[in-house]
Structure 1
Amino acid sequence: MLVARFYAPGDIRLEDAPEPQAGPGELKIRVRNCSTCGTDVKIHRHGHHHIVPPRVIGHEIAGEVVAAGAGVTGWAEGDRVQVIAAIPCGRCDYCGRGWQTICPNQESMGYHYDGGFAEYMVIPEKVLAVDGVNRIPEGVSFAEASVAEPLACVLNGQEIAGVGEGDTVVVVGAGPIGCMHVRMARARGARQVFLVELNRGRLDMSANVVHPDAAIAGSEVDAVEEVLRLTEGRGADVVITAAASGKAQKDALQMVSRRGRISFFGGLPKDNPIISLDSNVVHYREVTIVGANGSSPAHNRRALELVASGAVPVADLITERLPLADVPKAIETVASGSAIKVTIEP
């Protein structure tokens, strides 16, 4: 079978490999879709400290069951499944308190275990142990199901930030995650959603699909001033920084209303993670700043339900479909920002 293996930064190789076999407690699936994201770009360019090469990467996975290993019940050949990316241990204090997204023992598909840029793959026993294999609802395609993983991360972030009825929400970053944040905010009852992006071409491409109440090009206007103008000086109830930008995080504090909430959804580069902010603004205006890290197995299931119900559509966000042999091209397309969501169809 064909796989895409990471060997070193800038070195992803398409190779022939023997089909893996399901061991005890494991499932073997045929991968039908594995979508790409900015993390794949980071891995390609810089590697990752959890990846010991060579490693088949790809972590937004959907496919169908081919075989079940010894001791696995409840799954049959042909079952359509979506697979979590982040694997909590299920045993630590944080997992016991329901905080699986911050499990200190967390592992990941495509990092610690071979991922979805392959024709076939094995789902580890640890994934099944935390109920991390989800049935794809009827009417949901494999491609849509693969997007449930990043959508689950968006759901987690908006739950933590408390996005709800009547909120005015600003989303900074018009990539696929930003698009999903716009739609998730609407599904959660937001009254207005504004989309901010530096790149005019990317902003127009995304805004034409998700239709925010305002599309703000940060390269052409002062985004803070524009948000304040649109909110008559009050600021937004919630600001979500869906971009790896320290400036976006600092600007968020100027865009947010009194008693507002800021979600630092996008992490900063590891070599430049420090920002400065006016803590008195946080103090006197009673602003809440929260983080968001990935998603739990339950978030993945709920994300699939949101797609199936039509509450958060994702099919039209998938603007490029490429074969497995084009994984390098897919990663470069993601890096260029010329597509919203790129999926691989082995």
Structure 2
Amino acid sequence: MKSITIQQPGTLVIEDRPQCEPQPGEVRIRVASAGICGSDVHIYRGHNPFAKYPRVIGHEFFGHIDAVGEGVDASRIGERVVGDPVVSCGTCYPCAVGRPNVCAELQVIGVHRDGGFSEFVTLPAKNAHVVPDSIPDNEATMVEPFTIAANICSQMHPGPLDTALVYGAGPMGLTTIQALRGVYGVKEIIVVDRIDERLAMAKANGADRVINNAHLCLKTELEALNIRPTLIVDAACHPSILPEAISLASPAARIGIMGFSADPCVLSQQAITSKELTIYSSRLNSNRFPQVISWMAEQKIQPEKLITHQFPYTQVLEAMNIFEKDQKQCCKVLLKF
């Protein structure tokens, strides 16, 4: 089978590998399409602290089950499925309280074990979620990115009383905007970014107001509008954002952090406690695939709006380059297998 492998940081090859076989309790998926994520680029560039090399990357993938391992009903062969990349032990404390995404023995497909940038991939049968025929293949490939938004929203409980501020109009920010608008019906969504073209994408995906903070002071703009956000989502992942979000937030607001920056930031305990703010962090997803599939089936979200480019997998280097460098026009890139 053909697989896209990062042999070491900076070295990507398409190589022939032996056909993978499902182990007991697993299924094998014949991959039809897969999405490129920023974390794939980080592994390629050697910036992901969790990856081991060589590694077949890719954790956003859709296809059909074509083989099953021992203990899995053979009737599953032929199912249209998307793969949840979160592989957990099921017994540790996080798993026991419904947080398998931070399992003590966590494995992420495409990071800790080989992923979906391949003609075939194996994974636990419970991680292969059936997609109804009403959802097109391309949109099905987008389920995993929306589970990231679903996960942070499940913690923050957005609602119609909320005025939301979203930092960042990249893929994470745009999926969050769609969820806030189409699923949770928040009162108003304000999006801040430094790229006008990304802000135009934010408007197209449901934002009410956009602010370019490369040219404008966010604090001044919000004060002029008499807005104090009750729900703030950091989908841009810069260490300067959390202290600013704390200062801008309404009393009793909730702040959600979606990023993985290792850089330190300085926080005022008084600024948090005086307004009794709640700060959430979110990693991957905790069994959110069925939820997002239902959102898509009910047309509460519009994943096709995020897909800007498609390439055959043989052009993966061109695809990765566009995803990494064209922040003005590129949002989600799909590879076709």
Same topology, TM > 0.5: yes
1:340 aligns with 2:312: no
Q: TM-score when scaled to structure 2?
A: 0.94
Gaps of 5+ in 1: none
Residue of structure 1 in register with 2:73 after alignment? 73
Instruction: Give matches, 1:130-169, under 5 Å.
Output: 131-169=126-164
Contact 1:8 1:47 in 2 (8 A): no
Q: In the aligned structure 2, how far is the partner of 1:53 from the partner of 1:236?
A: 43
Contact 2:205 2:305 in 1 (8 A): no
Structure 1 residues 55-102: Cα deviation after superposition (integer angstroms, max 9, x where no partner): 111001111011112221164332100110121211112211212222
Does the C-alpha gap of structure 1 residues 235 and 201 become closer, same or farther in structure 2, counting only changes over 3 Å?
same
Partner AA of 1:43 in structure 2:
I
Residue of structure 2 in register with 1:196 after alignment? 192
Does the C-alpha gap of structure 1 residues 294 and 75 become closer, same or farther in structure 2, counting only changes over 3 Å?
farther
State the secondary structure of the residue aligned to 1:243: coil
Q: In the aligned structure 2, how far is the partner of 1:62 from the partner of 1:75?
A: 19
Contact 1:25 1:72 in 2 (8 A): yes
Deviation at 1:165, TM superposition (A): 2.1
Instruction: Give matches, 1:156-305, under 5 Å.
Output: 156-186=151-181, 187-204=183-200, 206-230=201-225, 232=226, 234-268=227-261, 270=262, 272=263, 274-297=264-287, 299-305=288-294
Structure 1 residues 241-294: Cα deviation after superposition (integer angstroms, max 9, x where no partner): 0012112222211221111111111221x3x2x101222111111111111111
Partner AA of 2:88 in structure 1:
P
Contact 2:203 2:210 in 1 (8 A): no
> Which segment is superposed worse, 311-320 or 47-56?
47-56
Fraction of identical pairs, as percent: 28
Relative contact order (C-alpha < 8 Å, sep 6+): which is higher? 1
| Count of residues in Structure 1 that have an aligned counterpart in Structure 2 | 334
Contact 2:178 2:206 in 1 (8 A): no
Partner AA of 1:279 in structure 2:
Q
State the secondary structure of the residue aligned to 1:3: strand
Does the C-alpha gap of structure 1 residues 133 and 5 become closer, same or farther in structure 2, counting only changes over 3 Å?
same
Contact 1:137 1:308 in 2 (8 A): yes
Instruction: Give matches, 1:109-128, under 5 Å.
Output: 109-123=109-123, 127-128=124-125
Contact 2:39 2:48 in 1 (8 A): no
Q: TM-score when scaled to structure 1?
A: 0.92
Deviation at 1:210, TM superposition (A): 0.8
Deviation at 1:229, TM superposition (A): 2.7
Does the C-alpha gap of structure 1 residues 277 and 264 become closer, same or farther in structure 2, counting only changes over 3 Å?
same
Deviation at 1:304, TM superposition (A): 1.1
Q: In the aligned structure 1, how far is the partner of 2:129 from the partner of 2:308?
A: 24
The 4+ residue runs of structure 1 with deviation greater than 4 A are none
Q: In the aligned structure 1, how far is the partner of 2:91 from the partner of 2:137?
A: 31
Gaps of 5+ in 2: none
